[in-house]
Homo-oligomer: A and B are copies of this chain.
Amino acid sequence: MNQLSFIKKISVLILCQLLFCQLAQASFLVEKQTLELESFNTTNGKTIPQVTLGWESYGELNADKSNAILITHYFTGNSHAAGKYTEDDVNPGYWDAIIGPGKAIDTNRYFVLSMDTLANVSAYSEQVVTTGPASINPATGKPWGLDFPVVTIRDFVNTQKALLDSLGITKLHAVIGPSMGSMQAIEWAVAYPDMVERMVSVIGVAQSDAWLVTGLQKWANPILSDPNWQNGDYYSSSAPLEGLTQSLAIITQEAMHPRIFNQLNPEHSALEQPPALDIRNNFKVVDWLYQAASKRATSMDANHILYLVRACQLFMAGHDGNLEKALNKVQAKSLFLPARGDLLLFPDMAKQAHKMLQSAGKSSQYTEITGDWGHLDGIYNVQQQADTLKQFLEQKV
């Protein structure tokens, strides 16, 4: 790295730090809570005993319990959607820009909830409480591994419903989620139509087509091919960290657009010497991506990635083989916010769901988020649609 680009990188880091601090200052303190279920029945007819899942809430539930908004998280995300854990926490929740007092999802008005999914990828993160293949199977006293049942988007919805039931909430003012969270939001509106008043799909799809299912397999394969994976039974030996790292590197790149990727690597040169001398030598940009992935891998579980990949692959809203019929059940008003530059979940897929809802006579809005991030514009640039979102949430149903 030359001096100029080093200075540039440092400047960007400082700017990010300042931005995070600002956000953190504007933010509020939150605490992780847990929901324990004695047993949970999956849509595939299996039973998982002793399910524990983390959740967070922001704002206060009103007297008639009519002001709840559920936020459903993305693939590598968790229930930390907003706020910070301590005063000096510099990383508020991922949608802190739109959730909080006076923000688009106004915690002065709404009681905002979010929950960790089953098999959340960050099994070893302090921020996450999940039950999945890395959890202890009470029947054996050992980690489940692949004996853990395959779970689906509907199962995630059903764990969230269990949380609402425990709180006595029978109506959602809205359910809102990005990416895999959007799958859950749409599923909510189809599965429990009389409970959902408003549905917001951010960078989402209503079904996984052949292209997406095959593309997601590309995320699973490095793990499946890692000799350490051992059919998922690696908990008493070495974890398949190499495969997990490769998987995360692919996920990270595919969630981005070339514009931001190239902006983040201004010093890249196609003519670097080491790669020209031996095909085993990497370009700096490849090392940059894989080193970041390797760091993230330490808090994640490889089997959990496989289970979430599978949950996303198995997704068709309503889970009954007919998307039109499923969307016809929706009673909620819908808002679709895809990202124009999304190369992972193309805006056309959100538009397809939006048009199917409109054709069925449902209320549906569609607006694209713009930016350089691609898919991640749904996380980093969502505040661009803060007004649209605020107005949508204030609409009468």
Contact = CB atoms under 8 A, between A and B. Distances in A.
Contacts of A306: 279
A45 to B, nearest CB: 10
> In the complex this chain forms, how many copies of it are found?
2
Given A227-B227, A258-B209, A279-B310, A217 B286 contact: yes
With most chain B CB atoms within 10 A of its CB, the pick from A276, A285, A343 is A276
25 contacts: A44-B277, A146-B280, A150-B275, A152-B276, A208-B270, A210-B261, A210-B265, A210-B268, A210-B285, A211-B262, A213-B268, A214-B285, A217-B286, A218-B253, A221-B222, A221-B246, A222-B222, A222-B225, A225-B226, A227-B227, A232-B279, A270-B313, A276-B314, A279-B309, A279-B310
B209 A268 contact: yes
A126 interface: no
Nearest to A218: B250
A124 interface: no
A282 interface: yes
Contacts of A235: none
A356 interface: no
A227 to B, nearest CB: 6
A214 B253 contact: yes
Sorted from nearest, which 7 A-B pairs have the closest CB atoms?
Answer: A210-B268, A211-B258, A210-B265, A270-B316, A210-B285, A211-B261, A208-B270
A283 interface: yes
Given A44-B276, A258-B211, A269 B225 contact: no
B279 A307 contact: yes
A219 to B, nearest CB: 11
A243 B225 contact: yes
A258 B270 CA distance: 29
Interface in A197-224: 207-215, 217-218, 220-222, 224
A263 B276 CA distance: 40
Interface of A: 44, 146, 150, 152, 207-215, 217-218, 220-222, 224-227, 231-232, 242-243, 246, 250, 253, 258, 261-262, 264-265, 268-271, 275-280, 282-283, 285-286, 289, 306-307, 309-310, 313-316, 319-321, 343, 346
Contacts of A146: 278-280
Contacts of A258: 209, 211-212, 346
Contacts of A346: 258
B307 A270 contact: no
Contacts of A215: 253
A320 B269 CA distance: 11
A262 B211 CA distance: 6
Contacts of A321: 269, 271
Contacts of A224: 280
Contacts of A220: 279
Given A217-B286, A225-B242, 13 more contacts: A44-B277, A146-B278, A150-B279, A207-B270, A208-B270, A210-B261, A213-B285, A214-B253, A214-B283, A214-B285, A220-B279, A222-B222, A270-B313
